[in-house]
Amino acid sequence: MTLAAPGDTWGISGPSFLGLYVALALAAIVATAIVRSLLARGHTGPGPRLTPDQVAFLNGGPQLTTYAALGGLRRAGAIGANPDRTLVPTGPLPAGSTALDTAVYNAAGKRLRTRDLTGDPWVSSTLDDIRAGLERAGLLLSRGQRGQSRLAALLLLPVIVLGGARISAGMANERPVGFLTVLVLVTVVWMLLSLARAKTRTRAGTSALASLRTENQHLSPGQSPSYATYGAGAAAMGIALFGASTLYMVDPAFAAEAEINRAVTGSGSSSGGSSCGSGSSCGGGSSCSGGSSCGGGGGCGGGGCGG
C-alpha cells in the first residue's frame, strides 16, 4: 500500500487512484450487466404455443422468418422461383396459411426476389405484427427495454468523469497521468461499444427456443428429416428452428433458385445483429428503432452483449 505523500493530487497516490478507478469501473460494468439481465428476464412461467413464424422471428429475425414462410409455401406447392431469381405463385394459397404466408404469397405474385421480401410493405407490416406479439409475450425485448438496456451502459459515465477530473487535476499538479489516461480511454471505448448493443431476445425467449428444439428434435438436420412426410408446417418449423440450410433440405433446387442464403441461421447468442441484418428491413423505421439500433448490429455477434 502506497502511503499518501504531500505532493499527491487530492491526497491520493497515483497507484492507489488507479486501483480505485479500476474497482469503480468494474463495479459499473457489473451493475450494467445486472440491469440488463433484469431487463432481459422476460416472461416467466409457461409461454404461449408458438407458430413457426414466431419461432423463426425469435430465432433469426425478419429474414429467417420470410425463409420459413417460403419453405412452408414451397412444400405446399404454392410458390416457385423463376430463372431470373424472382418468386412466382405456382398453386393456390394453401388452407391454413398464416398472415405472413399470405403476404409472402402476394409478394411472389408481384415477382419480388427473396431478398426484397422484407422491403415489401405488406410483408414488412406482418413482420412488425409478429415482432409486437413476441414483445407482448415477453420473448423479445420491447423497443423501450432495448433502449434502457443500452442506456444502462451509462453507469460507466460517472467513473469516466471522475477519471477525467483526476487527469486534469493531475496535469495541473504536474503529476504523471499516462496510465490513467490509457485506462480512461479504454473505459470510454468500452462504454461506447456497450451503448451500441442490446439483446433482442429475453431469457424466456431463449429458453422457449431451446425447448422447441428438443421437442422438434426429429427436424434437426442431422436426422435428414423427410419433409415430404412431415409436410409444410413442419418445413416452416424446421427452417425456423434450424436455419436456412433446412430450406435446402426441403427443396434444394428451389432454395438455390430463390437465392436463399444458407448462412442465415438463428444461433444461441443471436442478438441485435440478426434481427436488423438487412438494410431493407430497417428502412421502414417502424420495425427498428432507427439508425442507432441497426448501427451496432455488426458488432453484436461477439458474445457478451452486456447480458
Task: By CB under 8 A, name the binding residues for other proteins.
Answer: 214, 216-219, 222-226, 228-231, 234
CA dihedral 209, 213, 215, 216 (to 10 degrees): 130
Closest distance of CB 216 from other proteins, Å? 8
The greatest distance separating any two alpha carbons of the chain, rounded to the nearest whole angstrom, comes to: 87
Among all chains, which residue has been given the C-alpha cell 460494468? 29
Closest distance of CB 229 from other proteins, Å? 5
Closest distance of CB 255 from other proteins, Å? 19
Of 75 and 166, which CB lies nearer to other proteins in the complex structure?
Answer: 75
Closest distance of CB 60 from other proteins, Å? 22
- Whole-angstrom Cα distance, residue 286 to residue 254? 31
Of 5 and 224, which CB lies nearer to other proteins in the complex structure?
Answer: 224
Closest distance of CB 219 from other proteins, Å? 7
